[in-house]
Amino acid sequence: MQKRWALYVTVTVILSSCSGFPQFDIKPKDVDHRTSGDTKGSSSTSTLEDASYWNQIGQNILSKHKSQRPIEKQAKNVILFIGDGMSSPTITAARIYKGQQFLGTYGEDTVLEFENFPNIGISKTYCIDYQVGDSACTGTAYLTGVKANLDTIGVDINVKYNNCSAQNMPEYHVNSIMKWAQDVGKSTGIVTNTRVTHATPASSYAHTANRNWESDADLTYYGQQNSTICDDIAEQLVYKEPGKNFKVILGGGRSKFQPNTTADPEEGMGSRFDGVDLIQEWGKSKENMGKSHKYVTSRDELMAVDIANTDYILGLFERSHLGHHLLNEGKNNPTLEEMTTTAINLLQKDTTGFVLLVESGHIDIAHHEGKPHLALHETIELEKAVAAARKLTDTHDTLIIVTADHSHTMTINGYPLRGDSIFGVGYISDVDHMPWTTLSYANGPGYRKGNPDGSRYNITDDDFQAIEYKPIATAPTNSETHGGDDVAVYAIGPQAHLLQGVYEQNYIAHLIGYAACMGPGDHFCESETNSAIPLTSSLHTLLAVFIIYMIKA
């Protein structure tokens, strides 16, 4: 009896020191929307959200963080989510939008799926030659570990914009995490709701002096007299490593792969001048490998793919980009969540692991159009894809990172009441006594000229809730520009704790290489610190020895 009691006490003490006591979530009290008569200082939340409420919230967060432990393992799989242009104000506004639109709450205290990740860092997004970056140079940074010049992809500082001859110098090329993954036997894939030859997905496989050289016709358009000297991005995806080895390619951009004499399945024609049908070339290459493959052009076809008996899949669902989710009614296109699910299901068949890039490119496109309602909705679509990935994978062997390539100039202005629509009016000016919207841009197509008397445009009668409404921009541009501020990096899984802090954007690729033991540089599986036995492992070993001793005694 004494031995059993000693065994019980020892087990309890050791397990408590390893894992801590169980934590219980205490959900905040439900809060209803304010009535139209609510004013500052008399919010309906005042009696519900007293000191005890906020103290409990603080303690819950503290308990959650105290219980978190780094996952010191090699990452078998890596999924990198890019919210293109997903600035910090975009994330804040999206969480408010989610709460108000889908949960019936005030919105400010809503939590997005990836905001639950235990590790958060800050990434610097400048390019080598520009203070404010684009998706090409930033994509090169976080996917290859090397910063580049604006509008260039997969090359270093020696390749300037539009310099075809420099692009052809192999010594100036830099390889991405996709090449690293393939070199160690992992499966790879890309998912996007833009063209698969657009800057972000192209940064995972291409080497080019101009991000716009998506087809040979584009080289001609941008002044290259002989478009055969430099390979366009679509060619590189089909013929060159690592693109030709991708097991999953899902997105838009059919026109970049088909001749200008070939009719598109939906509308228009292809755009290639060389007469080559790269979609057919992709299929032939898989047949020559003796691999099963599937080319699809609609959601219905994608959903019908027999994943178990398919090795490679190419899905091109639009002639160009897939379009904004809210404006896609009637179109037979898959969602970002559906494409992500399909990609993971196919890639998971590889027992050695996989690396997947998923881009929500329409956050960026909507911001460029000056349409915040669409941008925030696309952020929620990204969140759904992240949630799907979490359900399909194991945190202990899959590193998931959610970040942005760059920001935008959208801001959240003062002083709307808590619970006011994120698309509503922020305040009334104490100078001209006219309102402004809570969301606005520093520049863009939403600019309105002032009145002849010098007063500003009055937005009072505008329909702020219209999904394509453009709030006023300070300066007129045809396309709103990127912003230069840092972006957040959310991470969970093996070695995710190493993504905390403030760092250069190119560090992300180095961390991925370290965690998954691939590419140049230091690897977790080869690290000297990996040979040391962690404290928890030592305690578990001690526990096992003690149990054996007590049983034999």
Of 531 and 432, the one with more pLDDT: 432
| Contact between 393 and 385 (Cβ < 8 Å) | no
Residue 179 pairs in a beta bridge with none
Cis amide leading into 416 (omega within 30) = no
In the prediction, which pLDDT does 47 show?
60
Q: Is the pLDDT of residue 535 over 80?
A: no
| Contact between 174 and 144 (Cβ < 8 Å) | yes
Look over the chain and give the mean of its residue pLDDT values, rounded to a whole number: 90
Of 29 and 428, the one with more pLDDT: 428
- Residue 48 in domain: no
Mapped onto helix, strand or coil, the DSSP state of residue 241 is coil
Q: Is the pLDDT of residue 21 over 80?
A: no
Structure confidence by residue, pLDDT tens digits, 76-92: 999 999 999 999 999 99
Which 8-state DSSP code applies to residue 476?
Answer: E
- Residue 463 in domain: no
- Type and span of the H or E element at 410: strand 410-412
- Residue 341 in domain: yes
Q: Is the pLDDT of residue 37 over 50?
A: no
What is the distance between the alpha carbons of residues 449 and 454, in angstroms, rounded to a whole number?
10
H-type helices in 20-86, by residue range?
51-67
CA distances from 406 to 124, 137, 444 (A): 9, 10, 17
What average pLDDT does the segment 439-451 reach? Answer: 96
In the prediction, which pLDDT does 368 show?
98
Active site residue 135: yes
Distance of CA 486 to the CA centre of its chain: 15
What is the distance between the alpha carbons of residues 147 and 126, in angstroms, rounded to a whole number?
9
| Contact between 293 and 313 (Cβ < 8 Å) | yes
- Residue 510 in domain: yes
Q: Is the pLDDT of residue 540 over 70?
A: no
Q: Is the pLDDT of residue 460 over 80?
A: yes
| Contact between 373 and 354 (Cβ < 8 Å) | no
| Contact between 450 and 457 (Cβ < 8 Å) | yes
Q: Locate 373 and state its tokens.
A: 């309602």
Strands (E) located in 414-543: 425-428, 435-437, 439-444, 473-476, 482-483, 487-492, 501-504
Q: How many domains does the chain have?
A: 1
Distance of CA 532 to the CA centre of its chain: 34
Going by pLDDT thresholds of 50, 70 and 90, the confidence category of residue 550 is low
- Residue 94 in domain: yes
What is the distance between the alpha carbons of residues 339 and 332, in angstroms, rounded to a whole number?
13
What is the distance between the alpha carbons of residues 441 and 162, in angstroms, rounded to a whole number?
30
- Residue 548 in domain: no
Q: Locate 500 and state its tokens.
A: 């905390």
pTM over 0.85: yes
- Type and span of the H or E element at 403: strand 398-403
What is the distance between the alpha carbons of residues 196 and 214, in angstroms, rounded to a whole number?
9
Going by pLDDT thresholds of 50, 70 and 90, the confidence category of residue 426 is confident
| Contact between 347 and 247 (Cβ < 8 Å) | yes
The residue with tokens 């969140």 is 383
| Contact between 382 and 97 (Cβ < 8 Å) | no
Of 199 and 227, the one with more pLDDT: 199
CATH code (residue 101): 3.40.720.10
Q: Whose CA is closest to 79, among 387, 341, 403, 358? A: 358
Full 3-state SS string of 347-371: HCCCCCCEEEEEEECHHHHHHHCCC
- Residue 461 in domain: no
Going by pLDDT thresholds of 50, 70 and 90, the confidence category of residue 292 is very high
Which 8-state DSSP code applies to residue 155?
Answer: B
- Tell me the residue range of the domain where 199 lies: 77-409+481-526
Residue 344 pairs in a beta bridge with none
Cis amide leading into 415 (omega within 30) = yes
Structure confidence by residue, pLDDT tens digits, 100-144: 999 999 999 999 999 999 999 999 999 999 999 999 999 999 999
Sheet with strand 293-296: strands edge to edge: 293-296, 312-316, 248-252, 187-195, 354-360, 77-83, 398-403, 487-492, 119-124, 501-504
Instruction: Choose the weakest-confidence range: 19-33, 277-291, 497-511, 521-535.
Output: 19-33
CB burial of residue 39 (10 Å; 0-12, 13-18, 19+): exposed
> Around 171, how many Cα atoms within 13 Å sit in the side-chain half-sphere?
1
What is the distance between the alpha carbons of residues 106 and 104, in angstroms, rounded to a whole number?
7
Instruction: Choose the weakest-confidence range: 39-48, 116-125, 299-308.
Output: 39-48
What is the distance between the alpha carbons of residues 270 and 262, in angstroms, rounded to a whole number?
6
Structure confidence by residue, pLDDT tens digits, 195-216: 999 999 999 999 999 999 999 9
Q: Which amino acid appears at position 220 of this protein?
A: T
Structure confidence by residue, pLDDT tens digits, 341-374: 999 999 999 999 999 999 999 999 999 999 999 9
Q: Is the pLDDT of residue 541 over 70?
A: no
In the prediction, which pLDDT does 44 show?
45
Mapped onto helix, strand or coil, the DSSP state of residue 394 is coil
- Which entry of 87, 123, 135, 203 is annotated as an active-site residue? 135
Q: Which amino acid appears at position 242 of this protein?
A: P
- Residue 302 in domain: yes
Going by pLDDT thresholds of 50, 70 and 90, the confidence category of residue 226 is confident
What average pLDDT does the segment 399-423 reach? Answer: 97
**Residue 310: which residues within 8 A CB-CB, separation 6 or more?**
292, 293, 294, 346
In the prediction, which pLDDT does 532 show?
43
In the prediction, which pLDDT does 539 show?
46
